[in-house]
C-alpha cells in the first residue's frame, strides 16, 4: 500500500477570499487521499479551522495589509512594494523549515510568491497574471508582470481559476498575450454547488457579505449600518472578521461562518451585496444570485472586475462613494442565464497529480 503524499496548502491572507476559494481545492485533495496540512494565520486560519476541524494546521504568518481610509491607494501601494518583497523572502525561508520538519511532498500556494521549494512539487494558483496598479503607478504593470512571470516559472504548475476563452470572469487579469508553459486553466472554483435547495425560515431581502483589508471593510460596514436604519427590510450581515463589532445592528449579525452555515443565508436572500473580490465573483457566478458588487476603493483589481462584469451584465456594481441602498434594491438586475457545460478541470489536475505519485 503506497504512502499518502503530504500537501501543504498556503492561502494568501489578504481578506478571506483566498481561504474560501481554497475550500473546494482542499476537499478534492482530501477526496483523492492526499494528507492535507494547512498553513495560515489570523482570520484565514480561523475560517479554515471551522471548515476543516479534522485537518492539521500550522500557524504560518502572512502579509499584514492595511489600506488607506481615502479612495486612493497610491501611497499605500508604494509603501507596500518593499514590504511584500521582504515578506516573500521571509516566507520562502520559513517554508524550508516547514518542508523539512513535516516531510512535505507538495506545496500548494494560493497567490503567495515565496512558497516554492527545490525539495517539493510546487503548485501556484492565481487569477492575476496581470495586476492593475492605481493611477500614476500603472507604469509598474509590465515590470510586475515580468517579475511575477519569472517567479511563477519556478513552480511546476500554475493553476488559473477561470475559463480559457470568451466567457471569462477575470478578463484581461487572467489572459495575457504569452501563455506560460506551466499554466492550466481550471475553470472557476467555488465552495458551493448550484443545487436548488430549500431552507425553512423567513426570506432575506438583502444579505451583506463583507471582507477585505481594514480600514475599508469597517468603513463600508458603517455605511451599511447608517443606511439600513432607514429601511424596513429583512437584512442579514456577515462581517467577515473576528474583530469586535462597533455598530448596533437591529438584524442578525455573523462574524466568520463556514460554508454549511452560509449557504442557507445565500439561498434565502433576494439580493447579495458584497465586494467584487474574485472568490465572491466565482461563488455567485455558480449560484446565479442577483448581486451588487461594491469594489474596495482604490483596489484596482476589484474596480476592474466590477466594471468589466457589469459591462457584461453578469453583476450590477456601484462604487462605495455612490452606495445608496434604497436605490440599489430596485436597480439590481437578475443574473443572466448562462449555461456552461465543462468538465471539472480542477479535479482533472488533481487526478493527474495523484497518478504522478501512484497513490
Task: Give the mean pLDDT of 235-258.
Answer: 92
Task: Give the mean pLDDT of 212-225.
Answer: 92
Average pLDDT of the chain, as a whole number: 88
What is the rounded distance in angstroms from the CA atom of residue 192 to the CA atom of residue 34? 22
In what helix (H) or strand (E) does residue 84 lie, and over which residues does it extend?
A: helix 74-102
Residue with cell 520538519: 101
What pTM value is reported for the model? 0.89
Tell me the three cell numbers of residue 309. Answer: 462584469
Residue spans of the domains in the chain: they are 6-187+342-357, 204-331
Query: What DSSP character marks residue 28?
Result: H
Q: Is 155 helix (H, G, I), strand (E, B) or coil?
A: coil
Note the pLDDT tens digit of each residue in 266-323. 999 999 999 999 999 999 998 888 999 999 998 889 999 999 999 999 999 999 999 9
CATH number for region 204-331: 3.40.50.2000
Question: What pLDDT does 326 receive?
Answer: 92
Question: What pLDDT does 296 receive?
Answer: 92
Question: What pLDDT does 1 receive?
Answer: 46
Q: ∠ CA 273-344-3 to the nearest 5 degrees?
A: 115
Note the pLDDT tens digit of each residue in 51-64. 999 999 999 987 66
Task: Give the mean pLDDT of 120-143.
Answer: 85
Question: What pLDDT does 320 receive?
Answer: 96
Q: Given pLDDT bands bounded at 50, 70 and 90, which one contains residue 197?
A: low
Is the link from the previous residue into 213 a cis peptide, with omega within 30 of 0? no
Question: What pLDDT does 78 receive?
Answer: 63
Inter-residue contact 224 to 292 (CB < 8 Å): no
> Do the domains spanning 6-187+342-357 and 204-331 agree at the CATH topology level?
yes
Question: What pLDDT does 179 receive?
Answer: 84
Length of the chain: 359
CATH 1.10.3470.10 fits 6-187+342-357, yes or no: no
In the chain, pLDDT over 70 holds for what percent of residues? 90
Sign, Cα dihedral of 342, 344, 350, 351: negative
Amino acid at each position: 500500500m503506497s504512502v499518502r503524499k503530504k500537501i501543504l496548502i498556503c492561502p494568501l491572507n489578504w481578506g478571506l477570499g483566498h481561504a474560501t476559494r481554497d475550500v473546494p481545492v482542499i476537499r478534492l485533495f482530501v477526496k483523492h487521499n492526499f494528507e492535507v496540512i494547512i498553513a495560515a494565520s489570523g482570520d484565514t486560519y480561523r475560517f479554515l479551522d471551522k471548515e476543516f476541524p479534522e485537518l492539521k494546521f500550522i500557524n504560518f504568518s502572512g502579509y499584514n495589509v492595511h489600506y488607506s481610509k481615502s479612495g486612493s491607494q497610491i501611497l499605500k501601494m508604494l509603501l507596500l512594494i518593499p514590504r511584500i518583497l521582504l515578506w516573500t523572502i521571509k516566507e520562502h525561508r520559513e517554508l524550508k523549515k516547514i518542508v523539512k520538519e513535516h516531510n512535505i511532498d507538495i506545496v500548494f500556494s494560493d497567490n503567495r510568491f515565496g512558497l516554492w521549494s527545490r525539495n517539493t512539487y510546487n503548485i501556484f494558483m492565481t487569477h492575476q497574471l496581470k495586476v492593475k496598479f492605481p493611477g500614476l503607478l500603472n507604469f509598474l504593470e509590465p515590470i510586475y508582470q515580468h517579475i511575477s512571470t519569472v517567479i511563477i516559472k519556478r513552480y511546476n504548475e500554475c493553476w488559473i481559476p477561470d475559463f480559457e476563452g470568451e466567457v471569462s470572469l477575470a478578463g484581461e487579469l487572467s489572459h495575457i498575450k504569452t501563455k506560460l508553459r506551466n499554466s492550466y486553466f481550471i475553470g472557476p472554483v467555488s465552495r458551493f454547488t448550484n443545487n436548488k435547495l430549500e431552507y425553512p425560515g423567513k426570506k432575506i431581502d438583502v444579505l451583506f457579505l463583507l471582507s477585505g483589508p481594514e480600514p475599508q471593510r469597517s468603513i463600508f460596514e458603517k455605511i451599511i449600518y447608517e443606511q439600513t436604519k432607514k429601511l424596513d427590510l429583512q437584512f442579514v450581515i456577515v462581517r467577515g472578521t473576528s474583530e469586535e463589532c462597533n455598530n448596533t445592528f437591529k438584524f442578525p449579525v455573523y462574524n466568520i461562518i463556514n460554508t454549511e452555515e452560509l449557504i442557507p443565508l445565500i439561498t434565502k436572500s433576494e439580493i447579495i451585496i458584497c465586494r467584487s473580490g474574485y472568490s465572491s465573483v466565482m461563488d455567485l457566478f455558480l449560484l446565479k444570485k442577483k448581486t451588487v458588487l461594491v469594489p474596495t476603493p482604490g483596489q484596482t483589481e476589484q474596480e476592474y472586475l466590477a466594471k468589466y462584469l457589469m459591462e457584461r451584465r453578469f453583476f450590477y456594481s456601484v462604487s462605495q462613494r455612490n452606495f445608496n441602498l434604497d436605490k440599489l434594491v430596485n436597480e439590481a438586475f437578475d443574473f443572466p442565464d448562462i449555461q456552461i457545460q465543462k468538465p471539472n478541470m480542477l479535479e482533472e489536475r488533481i487526478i493527474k497529480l495523484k497518478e504522478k505519485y501512484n497513490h
